[in-house]
Structure 1
């Protein structure tokens, strides 16, 4: 028997008393699209990592450099940005369309406020869309009618998981989720990932900081945040060829110039990479 229960969109479930990943991230960037509960979570995280806001900006700089490279040098003109969060400065579509005004971008997020602000992006130009969907369900995402109408998924595109997979639990199987996405990528496509990192045996002192951060995120009520080992993150690229310089600290991926200061400890606890499907 067909289930005729009406589906309630995530945007109908807005609860300002519970923090969300996207709004806490917005607070960490100094944005205004967040609630007091989100700012409280971020303040608790800063007790362990006082420069976590710098980590968020480091993550944003990585996104900008990657999108610019893939648009200008790799010639990519389609981007599927998963878990995109709230619009801020230098969004994916702004960076891509600076080089190619006809580059197509689809943002995907499940957060209600992201949905509201994302819809506003639809008014900017005909090449940008926002879709409300769950990135942990790749088959649903890749068959979503709004995505399949806007992107040609049978030709190369860029799949972006920027700061998303470290909010997917082991029970949800992030590696399995990525295997489904990678299998669906046409030859010539690219995958970009950033992820919280536990240096483990590579740096025991920083590893302790990672564990402390993970515990603080849970205590603060955000409910997710997993600092994983290098090999666990590498597994998410399985079947693809990592571009040089590989899976590295974010500011080490083709930096814009020489460092002006030494990185804060928490800035070491995130890795990123870009891979291509040959």
Structure 2
């Protein structure tokens, strides 16, 4: 387990408490306590524009749990590279994976000082497994893989988790290129789990909420169509049920009731 108290102290100095921030608003919608009044105000305003937007956070979190459970339980994956970690909550990637396979290894990656300041909560592990945290930007593919190789064995399959993070890459070609470069470096048997906010003609209130956020908050968000999101899985075997609303990906009746669809879609693909 890696200890980073000095990094956490430095990270807290970089946190801006006078401007709403996506990670903290997400935390607020999930019922967490790692947020400020400015985040709560922005979150409430966004919910006024789109009352169901708080469901995205829950749906995405449920998708993470089901995807990791599926990958560890049914696909036998024992290594996870989770980029765009977000603030720690219940059932983080390592907790779900290590309940199934205690020897699982997880590397978390995020460049948000808010997340870094709370990263110790992500660095617990079973004695058999290991977790680590990298303070890096998604765009720095080579550095991420070089540093992650200290914990993960890239000769064995890895699950690349990109949940709600590619939305911060505005340029479509750059976004696709980053995903492709990461998957190209992973061996056969690796998987990609990806979720992304969508734009669709029948969900105009989502566009209004994102536009409000991009005017007032940080970092900026980019929406993409479901078809574009499916394109991130080009060259992979897209597993059933494909790219769908996160709350409908291999869900069951025991989970919290959510609308039939939310504007956060996700999928899982296999590198043959």
Question: TM-score of the superposition, structure 2-length normalised?
Answer: 0.88
* d(CA) in 2 for partners of 1:258, 1:122: 29
2:133 counterpart (125, 130, 135): 130
Q: Which residue of 2 aligns with 1:158?
A: 159
* d(CA) in 2 for partners of 1:10, 1:169: 28
Cα distance change, pair 179–124 in 1 and its aligned pair in 2 (3 A) = closer
Cα distance change, pair 121–197 in 1 and its aligned pair in 2 (3 A) = closer
Q: Which residue of 1 aligns with 2:91?
A: 90
Cα distance change, pair 104–28 in 1 and its aligned pair in 2 (3 A) = same
Q: Structure 2 matches for 1:1-278, cutoff 5 A?
A: 11=11, 12-125=13-126, 127-144=130-147, 147-170=148-171, 173-199=174-200, 204-206=201-203, 208-257=204-253, 263=259, 267-278=261-272
Residue 269 of structure 1, CA deviation: 1.3
User: CA contact under 8 A between 1:86 and 1:114: conserved in structure 2?
Assistant: yes
Q: Which residue of 1 aligns with 2:5?
A: none
- Unmatched runs of 5 consecutive residues or more in structure 2: 1-8
- Unmatched runs of 5 consecutive residues or more in structure 1: 1-8
Aligned length: 261
Residue 180 of structure 1, CA deviation: 0.9
* d(CA) in 2 for partners of 1:175, 1:92: 24
Residue 82 of structure 1, CA deviation: 0.6
* d(CA) in 2 for partners of 1:96, 1:260: 21
User: CA contact under 8 A between 1:245 and 1:253: conserved in structure 2?
Assistant: yes
Residue 261 of structure 1, CA deviation: 5.4
More moved, 32-41 vs 267-276: 32-41
User: CA contact under 8 A between 1:83 and 1:162: conserved in structure 2?
Assistant: yes
Q: Which runs of 4+ in 1 moved over 4 A?
A: 123-126, 258-262
User: CA contact under 8 A between 1:210 and 1:227: conserved in structure 2?
Assistant: no
More moved, 250-259 vs 133-142: 250-259
Residue 142 of structure 1, CA deviation: 0.9
Residue 164 of structure 1, CA deviation: 1.1
Q: Which residue of 1 aligns with 2:6?
A: none
* d(CA) in 1 for partners of 2:66, 2:164: 15
Residue 152 of structure 1, CA deviation: 0.7
Residue 83 of structure 1, CA deviation: 0.6
Report the aligned-residue RMSD.
Answer: 2.2
Secondary structure of residue in 2 paired with 1:205: coil
More moved, 47-56 vs 100-109: 47-56
User: CA contact under 8 A between 2:242 and 2:267: conserved in structure 1?
Assistant: yes
Q: Which residue of 2 aligns with 1:3?
A: none
* d(CA) in 2 for partners of 1:191, 1:262: 25
Cα distance change, pair 125–172 in 1 and its aligned pair in 2 (3 A) = farther
Secondary structure of residue in 2 paired with 1:143: helix
* d(CA) in 2 for partners of 1:156, 1:249: 26
